[in-house]
Protein backbone atom coordinates (compact mmCIF):
# COMPACT_ATOMS: atom_id res chain seq x y z
CA UNK A 1 0.00 0.00 0.00
CA UNK A 2 1.27 3.46 -0.95
CA UNK A 3 0.22 5.93 1.73
CA UNK A 4 -1.09 9.21 0.29
CA UNK A 5 -0.80 12.15 2.63
CA UNK A 6 -4.53 13.00 2.70
CA UNK A 7 -5.35 9.38 3.56
CA UNK A 8 -2.72 9.33 6.32
CA UNK A 9 -4.15 12.57 7.73
CA UNK A 10 -7.64 11.04 7.61
CA UNK A 11 -6.52 7.94 9.54
CA UNK A 12 -4.69 10.10 12.10
CA UNK A 13 -7.74 12.30 12.65
CA UNK A 14 -9.87 9.16 13.12
CA UNK A 15 -7.36 7.74 15.62
CA UNK A 16 -7.32 11.02 17.50
CA UNK A 17 -11.10 11.05 17.87
CA UNK A 18 -11.18 7.41 18.97
CA UNK A 19 -8.08 7.01 21.13
CA UNK A 20 -7.80 10.50 22.60
CA UNK A 21 -11.33 11.92 22.52
CA UNK A 22 -12.74 8.42 23.27
CA UNK A 23 -15.50 8.48 20.67
CA UNK A 24 -16.77 5.10 19.43
CA UNK A 25 -14.54 3.81 16.61
CA UNK A 26 -17.44 2.67 14.42
CA UNK A 27 -19.08 6.15 14.51
CA UNK A 28 -15.76 7.88 13.88
CA UNK A 29 -14.99 5.75 10.83
CA UNK A 30 -18.48 6.17 9.40
CA UNK A 31 -18.20 9.95 9.66
CA UNK A 32 -14.65 9.99 8.31
CA UNK A 33 -15.70 8.10 5.19
CA UNK A 34 -18.80 10.25 4.78
CA UNK A 35 -16.92 13.57 4.83
CA UNK A 36 -14.34 12.27 2.34
CA UNK A 37 -16.48 11.15 -0.62
CA UNK A 38 -13.50 11.43 -3.00
CA UNK A 39 -11.88 8.34 -1.51
CA UNK A 40 -12.55 5.37 -3.79
CA UNK A 41 -13.78 1.99 -2.58
CA UNK A 42 -10.27 0.49 -2.42
CA UNK A 43 -9.00 3.42 -0.37
CA UNK A 44 -11.99 3.11 1.95
CA UNK A 45 -11.29 -0.55 2.58
CA UNK A 46 -7.59 0.14 3.27
CA UNK A 47 -8.44 3.04 5.58
CA UNK A 48 -10.92 0.96 7.56
CA UNK A 49 -8.44 -1.88 7.81
CA UNK A 50 -5.56 0.35 8.98
CA UNK A 51 -7.77 2.29 11.40
CA UNK A 52 -9.10 -0.84 13.12
CA UNK A 53 -5.81 -2.71 13.14
CA UNK A 54 -3.98 0.22 14.74
CA UNK A 55 -6.67 0.47 17.44
CA UNK A 56 -6.65 -3.30 17.95
CA UNK A 57 -2.85 -3.52 18.30
CA UNK A 58 -2.22 -0.20 20.04
CA UNK A 59 -0.40 -1.62 23.06
CA UNK A 60 1.87 -3.78 20.91
CA UNK A 61 2.71 -0.89 18.56
CA UNK A 62 3.38 1.51 21.45
CA UNK A 63 5.74 -0.98 23.04
CA UNK A 64 7.65 -1.12 19.75
CA UNK A 65 7.80 2.61 19.13
CA UNK A 66 7.56 4.51 22.38
CA UNK A 67 5.24 5.36 25.27
CA UNK A 68 1.56 6.05 24.71
CA UNK A 69 -0.72 9.00 25.53
CA UNK A 70 1.05 11.74 23.52
CA UNK A 71 -1.01 12.95 20.57
CA UNK A 72 1.98 12.89 18.20
CA UNK A 73 2.53 9.21 18.93
CA UNK A 74 -0.45 8.43 16.72
CA UNK A 75 2.03 8.80 13.85
CA UNK A 76 4.29 6.28 15.60
CA UNK A 77 1.36 3.85 15.73
CA UNK A 78 0.71 4.30 12.04
CA UNK A 79 4.41 4.06 11.18
CA UNK A 80 4.68 0.82 13.14
CA UNK A 81 1.63 -0.58 11.36
CA UNK A 82 3.26 0.29 7.99
CA UNK A 83 6.57 -1.31 8.91
CA UNK A 84 5.03 -4.54 10.20
CA UNK A 85 2.91 -4.84 7.05
CA UNK A 86 5.98 -4.24 4.87
CA UNK A 87 4.55 -1.06 3.34
CA UNK A 88 7.11 1.56 2.25
CA UNK A 89 7.38 4.34 4.84
CA UNK A 90 7.13 7.83 3.24
CA UNK A 91 9.95 10.19 4.16
CA UNK A 92 7.77 12.47 6.24
CA UNK A 93 8.90 14.34 9.32
CA UNK A 94 6.12 12.62 11.31
CA UNK A 95 7.87 9.27 10.82
CA UNK A 96 11.32 10.53 11.86
CA UNK A 97 11.27 8.47 15.07
CA UNK A 98 10.40 5.22 13.32
CA UNK A 99 13.29 2.80 13.27
CA UNK A 100 12.05 0.03 10.98
CA UNK A 101 14.97 -2.30 11.72
CA UNK A 102 14.47 -2.02 15.47
CA UNK A 103 10.70 -2.61 15.19
CA UNK A 104 11.23 -5.73 13.10
CA UNK A 105 13.85 -7.04 15.54
CA UNK A 106 11.78 -6.39 18.69
CA UNK A 107 8.39 -7.62 17.40
CA UNK A 108 9.07 -11.40 17.44
CA UNK A 109 10.32 -11.16 21.03
CA UNK A 110 7.41 -9.07 22.27
CA UNK A 111 4.75 -11.40 20.82
CA UNK A 112 5.91 -14.08 23.24
CA UNK A 113 4.02 -12.14 25.92
CA UNK A 114 0.24 -12.58 25.46
CA UNK A 115 -0.50 -9.07 26.77
CA UNK A 116 1.48 -7.61 23.85
CA UNK A 117 0.65 -10.24 21.27
CA UNK A 118 -3.07 -9.49 21.62
CA UNK A 119 -2.69 -5.93 23.00
CA UNK A 120 -4.68 -6.39 26.20
CA UNK A 121 -4.58 -4.06 29.23
CA UNK A 122 -2.76 -5.87 32.09
CA UNK A 123 -5.73 -5.75 34.50
CA UNK A 124 -8.12 -7.18 31.91
CA UNK A 125 -5.73 -9.94 30.94
CA UNK A 126 -5.38 -10.86 34.60
CA UNK A 127 -9.10 -11.09 35.40
CA UNK A 128 -9.77 -13.06 32.22
CA UNK A 129 -6.94 -15.50 32.91
CA UNK A 130 -8.36 -16.01 36.41
CA UNK A 131 -11.87 -16.49 35.01
CA UNK A 132 -11.12 -18.91 32.14
CA UNK A 133 -7.64 -20.30 32.69
CA UNK A 134 -4.69 -19.53 30.45
CA UNK A 135 -5.50 -21.93 27.62
CA UNK A 136 -9.12 -20.91 27.01
CA UNK A 137 -8.42 -17.21 27.51
CA UNK A 138 -5.60 -17.26 24.95
CA UNK A 139 -7.89 -18.93 22.38
CA UNK A 140 -10.72 -16.53 23.16
CA UNK A 141 -8.69 -13.31 22.94
CA UNK A 142 -7.09 -14.55 19.73
CA UNK A 143 -10.55 -14.95 18.22
CA UNK A 144 -11.84 -11.66 19.66
CA UNK A 145 -8.83 -9.88 18.15
CA UNK A 146 -9.79 -11.02 14.65
CA UNK A 147 -12.11 -8.73 12.65
CA UNK A 148 -15.75 -9.80 12.39
CA UNK A 149 -17.33 -10.98 9.16
CA UNK A 150 -20.37 -9.19 7.80
CA UNK A 151 -23.34 -11.27 8.99
CA UNK A 152 -27.00 -10.64 8.33
CA UNK A 153 -30.27 -11.96 9.71
CA UNK A 154 -32.85 -12.65 7.06
CA UNK A 155 -36.29 -11.17 7.70
CA UNK A 156 -38.41 -14.26 7.14
CA UNK A 157 -41.57 -12.14 7.18
CA UNK A 158 -40.51 -10.91 3.72
CA UNK A 159 -38.35 -13.66 2.22
CA UNK A 160 -36.45 -16.86 2.95
CA UNK A 161 -32.75 -17.48 3.53
CA UNK A 162 -32.45 -19.44 0.28
CA UNK A 163 -34.30 -16.84 -1.83
CA UNK A 164 -32.22 -13.98 -0.48
CA UNK A 165 -28.97 -15.91 -0.90
CA UNK A 166 -29.81 -16.53 -4.54
CA UNK A 167 -30.95 -12.96 -5.15
CA UNK A 168 -27.71 -11.55 -3.68
CA UNK A 169 -25.69 -13.79 -5.94
CA UNK A 170 -27.64 -13.36 -9.18
CA UNK A 171 -28.46 -9.67 -8.90
CA UNK A 172 -25.37 -8.31 -7.12
CA UNK A 173 -22.73 -11.03 -7.52
CA UNK A 174 -22.48 -11.21 -3.73
CA UNK A 175 -21.42 -14.58 -2.31
CA UNK A 176 -22.86 -15.54 1.06
CA UNK A 177 -22.88 -18.74 3.05
CA UNK A 178 -25.48 -20.44 5.23
CA UNK A 179 -24.35 -21.25 8.78
CA UNK A 180 -25.42 -24.60 10.25
CA UNK A 181 -27.34 -24.11 13.53
CA UNK A 182 -28.03 -20.44 12.76
CA UNK A 183 -31.22 -20.76 10.71
CA UNK A 184 -31.68 -17.09 9.75
CA UNK A 185 -28.03 -16.10 9.24
CA UNK A 186 -26.01 -15.49 6.08
CA UNK A 187 -22.30 -14.67 6.18
CA UNK A 188 -20.99 -12.37 3.43
CA UNK A 189 -17.80 -13.51 1.77
CA UNK A 190 -16.59 -9.88 1.66
CA UNK A 191 -17.44 -6.80 3.68
CA UNK A 192 -19.29 -4.15 1.72
CA UNK A 193 -21.66 -1.25 1.93
CA UNK A 194 -25.28 -2.43 1.98
CA UNK A 195 -26.98 0.79 0.98
CA UNK A 196 -26.82 -0.02 -2.72
CA UNK A 197 -28.78 -3.24 -2.14
CA UNK A 198 -32.47 -2.54 -2.75
CA UNK A 199 -33.55 -5.55 -0.70
CA UNK A 200 -31.65 -4.16 2.32
CA UNK A 201 -33.34 -0.78 1.94
CA UNK A 202 -36.65 -2.67 1.78
CA UNK A 203 -36.05 -4.64 4.98
CA UNK A 204 -35.36 -8.14 3.66
CA UNK A 205 -32.45 -8.40 6.09
CA UNK A 206 -30.68 -6.70 8.97
CA UNK A 207 -27.05 -6.76 10.03
CA UNK A 208 -26.84 -8.94 13.15
CA UNK A 209 -24.04 -11.12 14.48
CA UNK A 210 -24.84 -14.84 14.39
CA UNK A 211 -24.54 -15.38 18.16
CA UNK A 212 -26.69 -12.31 18.74
CA UNK A 213 -29.32 -14.20 16.68
CA UNK A 214 -29.24 -16.92 19.32
CA UNK A 215 -30.66 -14.63 22.04
CA UNK A 216 -34.33 -13.84 21.16
CA UNK A 217 -35.24 -17.57 20.78
CA UNK A 218 -34.42 -17.96 24.51
CA UNK A 219 -37.80 -16.31 25.21
CA UNK A 220 -39.48 -19.33 23.51
CA UNK A 221 -41.44 -16.79 21.45
CA UNK A 222 -45.01 -17.49 20.39
CA UNK A 223 -47.55 -15.49 18.38
CA UNK A 224 -50.19 -13.75 20.49
CA UNK A 225 -48.01 -13.43 23.61
CA UNK A 226 -46.74 -10.30 25.38
CA UNK A 227 -43.01 -9.57 25.52
CA UNK A 228 -40.98 -6.71 26.94
CA UNK A 229 -37.52 -6.00 25.52
CA UNK A 230 -36.28 -3.94 28.46
CA UNK A 231 -33.00 -2.70 26.97
CA UNK A 232 -34.00 -2.59 23.33
CA UNK A 233 -31.55 -0.01 21.99
CA UNK A 234 -31.97 0.21 18.22
CA UNK A 235 -33.87 -3.06 18.46
CA UNK A 236 -31.76 -5.81 16.91
CA UNK A 237 -33.36 -8.39 19.20
CA UNK A 238 -36.87 -6.86 19.18
CA UNK A 239 -36.93 -7.12 15.39
CA UNK A 240 -35.83 -10.74 15.57
CA UNK A 241 -38.52 -11.42 18.17
CA UNK A 242 -41.15 -9.89 15.88
CA UNK A 243 -39.96 -12.15 13.07
CA UNK A 244 -40.04 -15.26 15.31
CA UNK A 245 -43.61 -14.44 16.35
CA UNK A 246 -44.80 -13.75 12.75
CA UNK A 247 -45.36 -10.10 13.71
CA UNK A 248 -48.33 -11.13 15.80
CA UNK A 249 -47.13 -10.91 19.38
CA UNK A 250 -47.21 -7.73 21.46
CA UNK A 251 -43.66 -6.46 21.86
CA UNK A 252 -42.86 -3.44 24.01
CA UNK A 253 -39.36 -2.12 23.41
CA UNK A 254 -37.90 0.08 26.16
CA UNK A 255 -34.75 2.16 26.35
CA UNK A 256 -33.48 5.26 28.13
CA UNK A 257 -32.27 6.83 24.85
CA UNK A 258 -35.07 8.17 22.61
CA UNK A 259 -32.62 8.36 19.65
CA UNK A 260 -32.09 4.60 19.75
CA UNK A 261 -35.84 3.96 19.85
CA UNK A 262 -36.26 6.37 16.94
CA UNK A 263 -33.81 4.22 14.97
CA UNK A 264 -35.81 1.13 15.96
CA UNK A 265 -39.01 2.71 14.63
CA UNK A 266 -37.26 3.40 11.32
CA UNK A 267 -36.11 -0.22 11.18
CA UNK A 268 -39.68 -1.41 11.91
CA UNK A 269 -40.94 0.59 8.94
CA UNK A 270 -38.21 -0.84 6.71
CA UNK A 271 -38.91 -4.41 7.96
CA UNK A 272 -42.72 -3.89 7.60
CA UNK A 273 -43.11 -4.84 11.28
CA UNK A 274 -46.11 -3.57 13.23
CA UNK A 275 -46.03 -5.56 16.47
CA UNK A 276 -43.34 -3.47 18.21
CA UNK A 277 -44.28 -0.50 20.35
CA UNK A 278 -41.43 1.68 21.65
CA UNK A 279 -41.49 3.33 25.08
CA UNK A 280 -38.90 5.74 26.42
CA UNK A 281 -38.32 4.77 30.06
CA UNK A 282 -37.34 8.30 31.06
CA UNK A 283 -40.94 9.38 30.68
CA UNK A 284 -42.42 9.77 34.16
CA UNK A 285 -44.96 7.16 35.11
CA UNK A 286 -44.09 4.80 32.28
CA UNK A 287 -43.72 1.89 34.68
CA UNK A 288 -47.23 2.49 36.03
CA UNK A 289 -48.84 2.53 32.60
CA UNK A 290 -46.87 -0.48 31.39
CA UNK A 291 -48.63 -3.78 32.00
CA UNK A 292 -46.54 -5.96 34.30
CA UNK A 293 -47.79 -9.36 33.21
CA UNK A 294 -45.40 -10.18 30.38
CA UNK A 295 -45.01 -13.73 29.15
CA UNK A 296 -41.36 -12.92 28.69
CA UNK A 297 -38.98 -10.10 29.55
CA UNK A 298 -35.67 -9.82 27.74
CA UNK A 299 -32.89 -7.93 29.51
CA UNK A 300 -30.11 -7.46 26.98
CA UNK A 301 -28.12 -5.57 29.57
CA UNK A 302 -25.53 -2.84 29.07
CA UNK A 303 -22.18 -4.58 29.58
CA UNK A 304 -18.41 -4.33 29.17
CA UNK A 305 -18.75 -5.37 25.51
CA UNK A 306 -15.86 -7.80 25.94
CA UNK A 307 -17.64 -10.26 23.64
CA UNK A 308 -17.78 -7.79 20.75
CA UNK A 309 -14.12 -6.75 20.57
CA UNK A 310 -14.09 -8.07 17.00
CA UNK A 311 -16.18 -5.12 15.88
CA UNK A 312 -15.40 -2.63 18.70
CA UNK A 313 -11.70 -3.07 19.50
CA UNK A 314 -11.62 0.39 21.17
CA UNK A 315 -13.62 -1.12 24.05
CA UNK A 316 -10.32 -2.55 25.38
CA UNK A 317 -8.98 0.97 25.88
CA UNK A 318 -12.12 2.55 27.33
CA UNK A 319 -12.87 -0.16 29.87
CA UNK A 320 -11.32 0.30 33.33
CA UNK A 321 -11.84 -1.59 36.61
CA UNK A 322 -13.87 1.40 37.86
CA UNK A 323 -16.05 1.42 34.75
CA UNK A 324 -16.59 -2.32 35.09
CA UNK A 325 -17.76 -1.84 38.68
CA UNK A 326 -20.29 0.77 37.49
CA UNK A 327 -21.51 -1.60 34.78
CA UNK A 328 -22.04 -4.38 37.33
CA UNK A 329 -24.10 -2.02 39.51
CA UNK A 330 -26.22 -0.98 36.51
CA UNK A 331 -26.87 -4.62 35.55
CA UNK A 332 -27.91 -5.45 39.12
CA UNK A 333 -30.28 -2.50 39.26
CA UNK A 334 -31.76 -3.25 35.81
CA UNK A 335 -32.50 -6.84 36.86
CA UNK A 336 -34.30 -5.55 39.95
CA UNK A 337 -36.26 -2.97 37.92
CA UNK A 338 -37.53 -5.18 35.10
CA UNK A 339 -37.85 -8.65 36.65
CA UNK A 340 -41.19 -7.73 38.32
CA UNK A 341 -42.69 -7.29 34.85
CA UNK A 342 -42.66 -11.05 34.24
CA UNK A 343 -45.93 -12.85 34.97
CA UNK A 344 -46.05 -16.01 37.07
CA UNK A 345 -44.78 -18.89 34.94
CA UNK A 346 -43.19 -16.43 32.48
CA UNK A 347 -39.58 -16.20 31.33
CA UNK A 348 -36.92 -13.71 32.30
CA UNK A 349 -34.08 -13.83 29.80
CA UNK A 350 -30.87 -12.08 30.78
CA UNK A 351 -28.20 -11.61 28.12
CA UNK A 352 -24.96 -9.70 27.65
CA UNK A 353 -22.43 -9.34 24.86
CA UNK A 354 -19.75 -10.18 27.37
CA UNK A 355 -18.15 -13.46 28.34
CA UNK A 356 -17.05 -12.35 31.82
CA UNK A 357 -18.63 -14.49 34.58
CA UNK A 358 -18.96 -11.46 36.91
CA UNK A 359 -21.37 -9.85 34.43
CA UNK A 360 -23.13 -13.12 33.70
CA UNK A 361 -23.34 -16.22 35.86
CA UNK A 362 -22.35 -14.35 39.03
CA UNK A 363 -24.81 -11.55 38.31
CA UNK A 364 -27.57 -14.17 38.06
CA UNK A 365 -26.42 -15.88 41.28
CA UNK A 366 -26.60 -12.50 43.02
CA UNK A 367 -30.06 -11.80 41.61
CA UNK A 368 -31.38 -15.22 42.69
CA UNK A 369 -30.17 -14.61 46.23
CA UNK A 370 -32.11 -11.30 46.46
CA UNK A 371 -35.69 -11.02 47.78
CA UNK A 372 -37.09 -10.53 44.29
CA UNK A 373 -34.82 -13.20 42.84
CA UNK A 374 -36.17 -15.80 45.25
CA UNK A 375 -39.36 -15.79 43.14
CA UNK A 376 -37.34 -17.05 40.16
CA UNK A 377 -35.53 -20.22 39.26
CA UNK A 378 -32.65 -20.57 36.82
CA UNK A 379 -33.67 -22.94 34.04
CA UNK A 380 -30.69 -22.76 31.68
CA UNK A 381 -27.64 -20.65 30.90
CA UNK A 382 -24.98 -20.65 28.21
CA UNK A 383 -21.87 -18.70 27.24
CA UNK A 384 -21.32 -18.38 23.49
CA UNK A 385 -17.56 -18.16 23.18
CA UNK A 386 -16.01 -16.54 20.15
CA UNK A 387 -13.25 -19.14 19.79
CA UNK A 388 -15.82 -21.95 19.62
CA UNK A 389 -18.13 -20.26 17.11
CA UNK A 390 -16.06 -17.61 15.30
CA UNK A 391 -18.81 -15.08 16.10
CA UNK A 392 -19.23 -12.51 18.89
CA UNK A 393 -19.15 -13.62 22.53
CA UNK A 394 -22.48 -13.66 24.36
CA UNK A 395 -24.05 -15.00 27.54
CA UNK A 396 -27.69 -15.91 28.03
CA UNK A 397 -29.74 -17.22 30.97
CA UNK A 398 -33.43 -18.11 31.25
CA UNK A 399 -35.17 -17.78 34.61
CA UNK A 400 -38.74 -18.86 35.26
CA UNK A 401 -40.97 -16.89 37.63
CA UNK A 402 -42.26 -19.43 40.15
CA UNK A 403 -44.62 -17.21 42.21
C1 LIG B 1 -26.63 -4.11 24.94
S2 LIG B 1 -27.52 -2.70 24.56
C3 LIG B 1 -28.96 -3.32 23.79
C4 LIG B 1 -28.82 -3.79 22.39
C5 LIG B 1 -30.13 -4.18 21.75
N6 LIG B 1 -30.93 -5.04 22.59
C7 LIG B 1 -29.94 -4.84 20.40
O8 LIG B 1 -30.14 -6.03 20.25
O9 LIG B 1 -29.60 -4.11 19.46
C10 LIG B 1 -28.13 -2.18 26.10
C11 LIG B 1 -29.15 -1.07 26.03
O12 LIG B 1 -29.63 -0.81 27.35
C13 LIG B 1 -30.00 0.55 27.41
N14 LIG B 1 -30.16 0.90 28.83
C15 LIG B 1 -29.24 1.29 29.75
N16 LIG B 1 -29.81 1.48 30.94
C17 LIG B 1 -31.13 1.18 30.81
C18 LIG B 1 -32.24 1.19 31.69
N19 LIG B 1 -32.12 1.52 32.96
N20 LIG B 1 -33.44 0.84 31.20
C21 LIG B 1 -33.58 0.49 29.89
N22 LIG B 1 -32.57 0.47 29.01
C23 LIG B 1 -31.35 0.82 29.46
C24 LIG B 1 -28.88 1.23 26.65
O25 LIG B 1 -29.28 2.50 26.20
C26 LIG B 1 -28.61 0.26 25.52
O27 LIG B 1 -29.33 0.62 24.37
Q: What is the DSSP string of 365-380?
A: HHHHTSTTGGGEEEEE
Report the half-sphere exposure of 174 (CA within 13 A, side-chain side): 22
Of 212, 233, 290, 297, the one to substitute when testing ligand 1's pocket (max ligand atoms within 8 A of C-beta) is: 233
151-207 maps to CATH 3.30.465.10 = no
Pick the atom of ligand 1 nearest to 212's CA: 8
Torsion angle, alpha carbons of 16, 68, 73, 316, to 10: -40
**Pocket lining for ligand 1, CB < 6 angstroms:** 230-237, 254-257, 260, 281, 300, 302, 334
For the chain, how are helix, strand and coil distributed in percent, rounded to 5? 50, 15, 35
- Beta-carbon contacts of 2 under 8 Å, excluding residues fewer than 6 positions away, are 87, 88
Q: Whose CA is nearest to atom 2 of ligand 1?
A: 302
The Å distance, Cα 209 to ligand 1 centre, comes to 17
Q: How far is the CA of 315 from the CAs of 21, 210, 250, 304, 391, in angstroms?
A: 13, 20, 34, 8, 17
Ligand 1 probe mutation, 207, 218, 229, 231, most atoms within 8 A of CB: 231
Q: 277: which DSSP letter?
A: E
Residue nearest to atom 12 of ligand 1 (CA): 231
Q: Which of 235, 193, 180, 242 is nearest to 212 (CA)?
A: 235
Segments of the chain scoring below 50 in pLDDT: 70
CA of 305 to the centre of ligand 1 (A): 12
The pLDDT score that the predictor gives to residue 45 is 87
Q: Are 57 and 81 in contact (CB under 8 A)?
A: yes
Report d(CA 60, CA 113) in Å as an integer.
Answer: 10
Atom 19 of ligand 1, nearest CA residue: 334
Alpha carbon separation from 250 to 130, 194, 221 (Å, rounded): 42, 30, 11
Read off the DSSP letter of residue 178.
E
The residue whose CA is least distant from atom 10 of ligand 1 is 302
Question: Which residues, 6 or more positions from 235, have their beta carbon under 8 angstroms from its beta carbon?
Answer: 229, 253, 260, 261, 263, 264, 267, 268, 276, 278
What is the position in ligand 1's atom list of the atom closest to the CA of 232? 6
Residue nearest to atom 13 of ligand 1 (CA): 231
Distance 233 CA to ligand 1 centre (A): 5
User: Residue 350 C-alpha to ligand 1 middle, in angstroms?
Assistant: 12
CATH class of 215-401: alpha beta
Q: Where are the domains of the chain?
A: 5-119, 151-207, 215-401
- The alpha carbon of 172 and the centre of ligand 1 are apart by a number of angstroms equal to 35
Residue positions annotated with a catalytic role: 353
Question: What is the CA 324 to chain-centroid distance, rounded?
Answer: 17
pLDDT of residue 68: 57
How far is residue 130's CA from residue 207's CA, in Å, rounded to a whole number? 34
Amino acid sequence: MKLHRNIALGIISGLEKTLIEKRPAADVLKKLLKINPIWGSRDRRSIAQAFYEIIRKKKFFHALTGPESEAENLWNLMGCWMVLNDFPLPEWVEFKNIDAEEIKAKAPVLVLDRKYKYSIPDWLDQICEEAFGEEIWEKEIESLNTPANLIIRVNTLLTTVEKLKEKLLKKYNIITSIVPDYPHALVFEKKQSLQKIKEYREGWFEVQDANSQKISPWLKPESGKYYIDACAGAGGKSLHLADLTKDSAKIVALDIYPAKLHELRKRCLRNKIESIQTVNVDVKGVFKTLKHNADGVLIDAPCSGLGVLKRNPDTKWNLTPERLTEILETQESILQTYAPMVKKGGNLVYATCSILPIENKLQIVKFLSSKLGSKFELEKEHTYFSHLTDFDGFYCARLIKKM
